[in-house]
Structure 1
Amino acid sequence: MDITHDYAVQIEWTGNRGTGTSSYRAYGREHLVTADGKHVIEGSSDPTFHGNAERWNPEELLLAALSQCHMLSYLHAATRNGVTVLAYTDAATGTMQQTADGGGHFTSATLRPRVTISDPTQIDLAQSLHAQAAAQCFIASSVNFPVGHEPQTTAAETTAAETTAAEASAAR
């Protein structure tokens, strides 16, 4: 059974500096990304392409979408497999290659999830769930370049109070 989901966003270019696109350097790349009921995303192009470094560029947003999608798929897989995730971060990177015709494309992305779980006996299981998350990520399934994964999973350390209580119990 095919189920479809539709999405809508609006883009508004705000970079007209008075003369529109009269020349390559005459206009700003600033724009707004909006969707009903959501916060505005202030966008621009990468500074390499005369964009505003203080705003999100499409390349960063693509990488963020890949990272978010993997995280959300992973959290779902963890829940379904009885793994309690306490913390999750990712330091994702991507490579885009420009082409001679002025275009370009991403050649790869690498996600580096760092996951902390509650039960140290589930580290191997938790680590293995990244493959399931990768297979279920809608965004990664939609791109035509490899998305690599370099996950690390650790268990939460016991607090000093837990350690003291355990030591006291063992001394009895």
Structure 2
Amino acid sequence: MGDKQHPYPVQVVWTGNHGSGTQTYQGYGREHEIRVAGKPVIAGSSDAAYRGDGSKHNPEDLLVAALSSCHMLWYLHLAAVAGVAVTAYVDDAAGSLLDRGNEGRFTEVVLRPCVTISADSDPDVAKRVHEDAHHACFIANSVNFPVRCEPRIVIESV
């Protein structure tokens, strides 16, 4: 099977011009829209700590969400292949960002998925599948900081 390139075109449109553009640092909004053809628009802004609208998604939220959802989707696939029946999955993921003025960077993201499996599934296999999912995740393979996974397996009560 050969290599394949998959394009992901995204349009980001700044909507924060409040009349005078970026004449002053305080005078413009950080609001923007993230548009992908055929999908709902995502309302974005910068983090409230950076003069943004805290009620909108910011790039940092979206990066942590991308890592979490990528891991989850790989996990569900690999669990099904391994014969583990997942009945619920909730990840309380958290990212850590070190802010050094104009040189901020993520230092790590920790995924904390709580996975509920059927009573007839093997919890040891369910836990091991997380390691395979971590190595398969395209997003985790693309970042330059650690992505740790601290899974919890819950067996569904009958």
Pair in the same fold by TM > 0.5: yes
Residue 125 of structure 1: aligned partner:
125
Larger radius of gyration: 1
Residue correspondence of structure 1 range 116-155 to structure 2 within 5 A: 116-155=116-155
Cα drift, residue 120 of structure 1: 4.9
Q: Which has the higher helix share?
A: 1
Count matched residues.
Answer: 157
* TM-score, normalised via structure 2 length: 0.97
Cα drift, residue 98 of structure 1: 1.6
Give me the whole-angstrom Cα distance separating, in 1, the residues matched to 2:93 and 2:121: 27
* TM-score, normalised via structure 1 length: 0.89
Letter paired with 1:103: E
Secondary structure of 2:25's aligned partner: coil
The answer to whether the 8 A contact 1:120-1:154 is kept is: no
Letter paired with 2:32: H
Residue correspondence of structure 1 range 92-107 to structure 2 within 5 A: 92-100=93-101, 102-107=102-107
> Where does the alignment leave 5 or more consecutive residues of structure 1 unmatched?
159-172
Cα drift, residue 99 of structure 1: 2.1
The answer to whether the 8 A contact 1:94-1:108 is kept is: yes
Residue 56 of structure 2: aligned partner:
55
Give me the whole-angstrom Cα distance separating, in 2, the residues matched to 1:103 and 1:20: 25
Give me the whole-angstrom Cα distance separating, in 1, the residues matched to 2:13 and 2:26: 19
Residue 39 of structure 1: aligned partner:
40
Identity %: 50
The answer to whether the 8 A contact 1:77-1:129 is kept is: yes
The C-alpha deviation readout for 1:28-84, integer Å capped at 9, x for no partner, is 000000111000000000000000010000000000000000000000100111111
CA RMSD of aligned residues (A): 0.9
